[in-house]
Chain A
Amino acid sequence: SQQGEEDPQALSIQEGENATMNCSYKTSINNLQWYRQNSGRGLVHLILIRSNEREKHSGRLRVTLDTSKKSSSLLITASRAADTASYFCATRNSGYSTLTFGKGTMLLVSP
């Protein structure tokens, strides 16, 4: 079963704009991770935020985590056409090392 729900399901923006994707989950977590997937191929790990962290940055990526609301957001600043992909949040639940994924957000960045 899916743990997380990403919102929106699809997002279309112009190059240079910012893209924000949200993720909600249901159970207590150890950490939350964001992955990118191009054209239905393998997933690429983007960033991990632990349950005791509230915000994390990596290059043009900014992730926030609100454990009281069981939600996270991924912000991609100054988007590029190469950012076009599907983005998934995945949670690692306490006591387990496996990941539970949401259904993903499809991002389209137009030149």
Chain B
Amino acid sequence: DAGVTQSPTHLIKTRGQQVTLRCSPKSGHDTVSWYQQALGQGPQFIFQYYEEEERQRGNFPDRFSGHQFPNYSSELNVNALLLGDSALYLCASSLLRAGASTDTQYFGPGTRLTVL
């Protein structure tokens, strides 16, 4: 039973560039949430995708966008990168389908993004 996977593991970009991070949820899960974790801080919620739509969004600018595919995998895109976007980006999957929803979120190992 595959857990949550994320790619790439590490990424170095320069200011102004764009980046795409990828996540595959745990088998059987239908919902993907993305979190940003700055050094020394707790994860902060970016957005959540369910049924290929953005279901909820945290306090992040429009430079952060995402997508969910029919196989439930998801992408996080960040445009016009800033130095402050350097962080660990975590993907978490869960089950939201009515009658089967779970409260526990399973996290992937994260993608460490460095913006120079």
Contact = CB atoms under 8 A, between A and B. Distances in A.
Nearest to B110: A42
A68 to B, nearest CB: 22
Contact of B103 (A31, A35, A42, A104): A31
Interface residues of A, number: 26
Nearest to B57: A98
B82 interface: no
Chain B contact patch, size range: 20 to 34
A81 interface: no
Contact of B106 (A30, A45, A98, A100): A45
Contacts of A104: 41-42
A1 interface: yes
Contact of B96 (A2, A44, A48, A97): A97
A48 B88 CA distance: 24
Contacts of A100: 45
B56 A96 contact: yes
Nearest to B41: A103
Given A40-B88, A43-B90, A48-B103, A98 B110 contact: no
Contacts of A1: 44, 59
Given A42-B107, A42-B108, A48-B103, A98 B42 contact: no
A97 B101 contact: yes
A99 B101 contact: no
Contacts of A44: 107
A40 B33 CA distance: 18
Contact of A97 (B31, B35, B43): B31
Interface in A33-59: 33, 35, 40-45, 48
A25 interface: no
A30 to B, nearest CB: 8
Given A98-B56, A101-B43, 8 more contacts: A2-B41, A45-B105, A88-B42, A97-B48, A97-B94, A97-B103, A98-B45, A99-B105
Interface of A: 1-2, 4, 30-31, 33, 35, 40-45, 48, 88, 90, 92, 96-104
